[in-house]
Every structure is written in C-alpha cells, then in structure tokens.
Amino acid sequence: MMCAIEAGRRGRSVLIIDHARAPGEKIRISGGGRCNFTHLHSTPENFLSANPHFGKSALSKYQPTDFLAKIQKHGIAWHEKTAGQLFCDDSATQIVSMLTKEMADAGCTLLLNNPIEDIAPMEGEGYRVVSGRGTWLCASLVIATGGKSIPKMGATGFGYELARRFGHEISPLRAGLVPFTWPSDMIGNWQELSGVSLPVRVACGEAMFHEAMLLTHRGLSGPAMLQISSYWQDGQTLHIDLLPNGSAFDVLAAARSATPKASIQTALGNTLPRRLAERVADNPPKAIDNVGLRMADLSNADLQSVARTFHDFQIVPGGTEGYRTAEVTLGGVETDKLNQKTMESRLMHGLYFIGEVVDVTGHLGGHNFQWAWASGFAAGQSC
C-alpha cells in the first residue's frame, strides 16, 4: 500500500492484487488492535540481516517522523507507550483506512480476494500476471507478500517461491519474535506458573534484552523472550537474570539478619513473584545442597551460590511456537541481488521486493512496520 501510494503520486498506473478479503489484516491485529505503527528511535541497528548495511538507505530516506507526519495529517490520535513505541489511541483500522484513502486519492486500484495463478516475464520487458479474475501486463512488478508468520491470516511462502523462480536465493527461514516452549523436563511443574510476569534481562550469545518476561502454559513469552527469540538457535541456552535491577545477595543477606528463621524461598518471595522464587530455588540442580535450610544456617558462600542461580537462571527451551504465533519471519530474499536504494532486483529489470519478504527483520516495537513504510516508499519512488 505504501509503495502503491508513492507510485500513483508519480503518475504511474497502479494495481494492487491481494488474495485476502480485506487490506492490511496484519496492521489490523497488531499492537493488540491499536497498531504499533513505528518506533521513534528506529535505526539500522534494530534490524537483523545477513547484510546489516542493506536497509540503511531506505531507512534514512523515509524515517519514523515522516510516517508520524502522515498520521497527524489524517488526524489520527496516537501515544508513545514504551521508549519510542507509537500506538493509535483508538483502532489500528485507522491506519488501514488512511492508507486505502491515500491509494484511492493517488488513483490506485485495489483488487481483493484475488489469488495469483501465475506470473511470468514477457519477451523484452515487463510481466504477465494471471489471476482468477483476469490477466494483466505490467512494466514493474512489486512483491510485497510478507513472510510465513501467522498463517491463519493468510500468510504463505508465495513470495519466496516467486523469488526463486526469478533466480533469487532465499536465506534460511525461521520464526522470529515468537514465544518459547518448555523443555520436556519442565512442562509439568512450570506450567503451574502460567500468568507470572516480571522484568528480566535475558541473553543468548552476544544479544541481550532487558524487558518483561511472561510465563505461560506453553512456555516463556513477553517482550524479552520475543526479542531474544530472533537470535536464538535450537539447542542454545538462555541466560535469564531474574533480578536485573537489584542484588539477590543483598536481599538474602538482609533477610538473614531480619528473619533468620525464614527459608530462601520466603526471603526472595518478597522481591520476586513468590511462586517463581519457590520453583527456582527448588528446581534441580539446587543452588545449595539443602535449599530448605533456615537463612541463619547459610554462609555468605551459600548466599552467593543462591544469588548466582537467580541472576543466571539457565534454560534450554524445547523450541518455539513457530509461525503460528510468530510476529515475523527471519530470513528471506537475499539482499546481495537487490538494489538497496530502490529495492529493485539486480537480476530482473522492473522486479521489486519490499517488506518482510526481504531478508531484513526488525526488533519488536514498531521497527518492522517502519521497514514496511521505508522499503515501500523506496520502491514506490522508482518502480
């Protein structure tokens, strides 16, 4: 839609073909129905790609303030929720309505509920697009099909298949910004903590995030877990600091003086969610040989051992919930055969790839929408 608006304003004849029954369905469901439409501090460092420099041109050409200006022009009320994350005050459908109105004003035609049957290059230049409702010839073809995440919304791998047909390579695909599932040895007891939430610092490899974690019936979710999932590979260990803003040793030492007859679980239960403190302390391997001892019976070395358990709680997830609940698809059309300024294929003249189908994936918090706006704008200025 963003690309269509810009191309239409340049005087191009634009047709948007969508197999969905309504436009912008992922916009509609995003942000709890209020659409986290951008992030004020979105920079290339907020994106993952085999080529971390690829997105710089498009992201600099169309910035968060540019989209915010569009929002304000249309009188859509918004608010900043968390450190630069911008949401609609009312409904995400306002964003969809804004974009469809601008498309109409630019003379674009939108065809919904219209699956593509075939796309092929024509002799010379241009493309033939065949659907159940007709055949169209075009000089420029823009692929904005998204990734495989949330298939119930109609997401498929069609864009990747099409890219391969035209000679493009696809970097490995996997679910990103997705909840983790419990490993088999934690499913029973840990499922009982569903609903517990707390701020944590989670690390995997070189990546680290300090946000909220939510324990669910299936596993670990919340912003911290979604963020780190984009960096996690099967079999890797997550290192979770359950007290990122304090010292577990100091809490325990103070409790030993104030309530010497209390247990570790009770002492930490005043700082952490009590059920979580009990489960971590009791979870093998235990921090000390007899975790049921009174605080008065524990040495400083014992307290340090317990503190390390809470500051570096380690878990190897059983996996993730996959594309079913993933917010994005990692990987995609490899960027080395795309022009970073225009998003045009270097293999096929007039062929463009934009948005999530490209190997550029943002962090949680509006960055992926900003990539959609920026890459769409870049292509719309050229196609």
Give, in order, the Cα–Cα distances in Å from 16 to each of 9, 203, 261, 297: 15, 42, 70, 72
- Measured CA to CA, the distance from residue 60 to residue 197 in angstroms comes to 36
The two three-digit tokens of residue 158, written as one number: 């069609």
C-alpha torsion 221→224→228→230, nearest 10: 70
What is the pLDDT, as a whole number, of residue 290? Answer: 53
What is the pLDDT, as a whole number, of residue 264? Answer: 86
Q: Closest Cα to residue 317, out of 212, 231, 198, 242?
A: 231
The amino acid at residue 133 is R
What is the pLDDT, as a whole number, of residue 281? Answer: 81
What is the pLDDT, as a whole number, of residue 276? Answer: 94
DSSP letters spanning 121-162 = EPSSS-EEEEETTEEEEES-EEE----SS-GGGT--SHHHHH
What is the pLDDT, as a whole number, of residue 288? Answer: 55
pTM: 0.94
Cβ neighbours around 5 below 10 Å, total: 24
In the chain, domain spans: 2-174+328-380, 179-320
Asked: is 179-320 a CATH 2.40.30.10 domain? The reply is yes
Give, in order, the Cα–Cα distances in Å from 85 to each of 38, 195, 216, 367: 6, 24, 24, 9
Residues 6+ apart with CB under 8 A from 20: 112, 113, 153, 154
CA dihedral over 41, 227, 209, 215, signed as positive or negative: positive
Residues 6+ apart with CB under 8 A from 143: 159, 162, 163, 351, 352, 353, 354, 357
The two three-digit tokens of residue 216, written as one number: 């669910």
- Measured CA to CA, the distance from residue 300 to residue 63 in angstroms comes to 52
What is the pLDDT, as a whole number, of residue 292? Answer: 62
Task: State which H helix or E strand residue 173 sits in.
Answer: strand 170-176
- Measured CA to CA, the distance from residue 69 to residue 38 in angstroms comes to 12
Residue with tokens 């304003």: 9
- Measured CA to CA, the distance from residue 350 to residue 366 in angstroms comes to 29
Is 36:87 a contact under the CB 8 Å cutoff? Answer: yes
The two three-digit tokens of residue 239, written as one number: 């290192």
Instruction: Could you please state the CATH topology (level 3) that the domain comprising 2-174+328-380 is classified under.
Output: FAD/NAD(P)-binding domain (3.50.50)
Beta bridge partners of 125: none
- Measured CA to CA, the distance from residue 190 to residue 282 in angstroms comes to 12
Q: Closest Cα to residue 29, out of 229, 327, 321, 323?
A: 327
What is the pLDDT, as a whole number, of residue 265? Answer: 85
pLDDT in tens, the chain (383 residues): 999 999 999 999 999 999 999 999 999 999 999 999 999 999 999 999 999 999 999 999 999 999 999 999 999 999 999 889 999 999 999 999 999 999 999 999 999 999 999 999 999 899 999 998 999 999 999 999 999 999 999 999 999 999 999 999 999 999 999 999 999 999 988 999 999 999 999 999 999 999 999 999 999 999 999 999 999 999 999 999 999 999 999 999 999 999 999 988 888 888 999 999 988 887 654 555 555 678 999 899 989 988 999 999 999 999 999 999 999 999 999 999 999 999 999 999 999 999 999 999 999 999 999 999 999 999 999 99
Region label for 191, one of left (φ > 0), alpha (ψ between -120 and 50) or beta (otherwise)? alpha
